[in-house]
Structure 1
């Protein structure tokens, strides 16, 4: 079933609203984790996430979380480890093609290494 242009535009704006207000992405952009084109990468992510929903039917929530986590890792060298991805996906998951079943949570990190990665942790 093809989405109409109007509904696709509304969905894209919803994705944009969620990603633009996601603190992890904003921290990555504000601190230059994506390089000089960090803001352009964040804008590009909106289109990529929208297209991912469009191209894949019956997505599971964990699939979307993994996809966005991979984008953050590849484009911003940022491992999202603060528990915010499932929360963000609750907002985005209001789209019709996402199932809200949750896989078991990932195991906690075993050690903090200085390997050049930026780890975003949940505030206490």
Structure 2
């Protein structure tokens, strides 16, 4: 029974952490995973859950390598900010707290995270901006009809959390935020400057 409680509690924690990860959300919004980017993000979240619960002694470095490789392979994205090490550190810490039954402490800490919309669910539709130069006229038409019933997450780019810069809504906005345009096919993520 304790193992079932641990798995259930850790799943809730992991979903909360992934739903608050702005870089992943922006990668999906900007179409870096293609038309199925949201599904890829859900699969990555599911894989990390299985990886964490299926392996007893994971180091932060091992988890970081796995997550970086998945982001690179599935989204052609490399995060140069500290989000991946921070996520890995927190996931492993929360994994241990879940095993110890410290649910009140976890809930207290997670309640301090920004209240973001849960977007890593199949029933939530993400409207994405196709990659510049990509022939996606048919995708745009299909996406615009889906967006009436879905959820448009535009506020993520305004966040003070580190953001991805492969494709921005406008060139002026990207220059204003200090983004550096990477080589084609790559995304640069930098810590936001205030």
Normalised by the shorter chain, which TM-score bucket? 0.7 to 0.9
Higher strand content, 1 or 2: 1
Instruction: Write the distance in 2 (CA, Å) between the matches of 1:93 and 1:19.
Output: 14
Q: What TM-score does the superposition give when structure 2 sets the normalisation length?
A: 0.51
Residue 11 of structure 2 corresponds to 12
Q: CA deviation at 1:5?
A: 2.4
Residue 106 of structure 1 corresponds to none
SS at match of 1:59: coil
Residue 65 of structure 2 corresponds to 66
Residue 156 (structure 2) pairs with residue 87 (structure 1): no
Residue 122 of structure 1 corresponds to 191
SS at match of 2:183: coil
Deviating beyond 4 angstroms after TM superposition, the runs of 4 or more aligned structure 1 residues are none
Gaps of 5+ in 2: 98-180
Which residues in structure 2 correspond to 1:1-124 (within 5 Å)?
A: 4-94=3-93, 95-96=95-96, 114-124=183-193
Distance 1:38 1:3, change over 3 A: farther
Please say which structure displays the higher CA radius of gyration: 2
Indicate conservation of the 8 Å contact 2:182/2:188, yes or no: no
Residue 105 of structure 1 corresponds to none
Gaps of 5+ in 1: 98-111
Q: What TM-score does the superposition give when structure 1 sets the normalisation length?
A: 0.78
Kindly tell me the number of residue pairs found equivalent between the two proteins: 109
